[in-house]
Amino acid sequence: MGTSHDPLPAGTGEHAPAVHLTVRTAELMRELGRRLAALLGPGDLVLLSGELGAGKTTLTRGLGEGLGVRGAVTSPTFVIARVHPSLTGGPALVHVDAYRLGGGLDEMEDLDLDVSLPESVVVVEWGEGKVEELSEARLQVVIARSPYEKDGGPDADDVREVTVTGVGPRWAAEDLSGLAV
């Protein structure tokens, strides 16, 4: 997994510098989720972006493993949200798929995420423009298929470019560079 760091443009508020990672396999995506879990605690909101099949749920599986939660983490597409209680006394993982929600925060309010957020880690796939108002701080994770994998080897389809950005006061001083291996 490779990495680079870019600060966000001036005037964008309190942010940790963005970390850019190249993730070469699905297992390394899960490992990234496990490392990310070590930074998260109750009240943290994580927004996951990326096209279908990019690896959002795979990353969330790793988060669940790292947080020590009960139950297999699977895509919540048809149930909208799944709650995975902690097996270790830590925060629960609330995994939301906002893909089919079009009404923004109004529909999200029906899920009572604002009630879950203070004591849970809330991960929202497809949440851009829908859940940012839930918290003044969030971790934004953008996953894209790598455009530059030139060797076309057997794992070329698994290579992803991941950008992790901490937004808001909670993340302003956090060093996200430890996410790279």
Can you spell out the DSSP letters for 76-99? Answer: -TTTSEEEE-BSSSS-EEEEEE-T
CATH architecture of 17-170: 3-Layer(aba) Sandwich (3.40)
Q: Are strands 45-49 and 81-84 parallel, antiparallel or unpaired?
A: unpaired
Q: What is the pLDDT of residues 100-127, one digit of tens each?
A: 666 555 555 555 555 566 889 999 988 7
pLDDT classification of 132: cutoffs 50, 70, 90: confident
User: Where do runs of H (alpha helix) occur along 7-161?
Assistant: 26-37, 56-67, 105-109, 113-116
3-state secondary structure of 137: coil
Cα–Cα distance for residue pair 118/91, rounded to 1 Å: 9
> What value does the mean pLDDT take over residues 25-49?
95
Q: What is the pLDDT of residues 121-131, one digit of tens each?
A: 999 988 777 67
What's the number of CA atoms in the CB half-sphere (13 Å) around residue 83?
A: 11
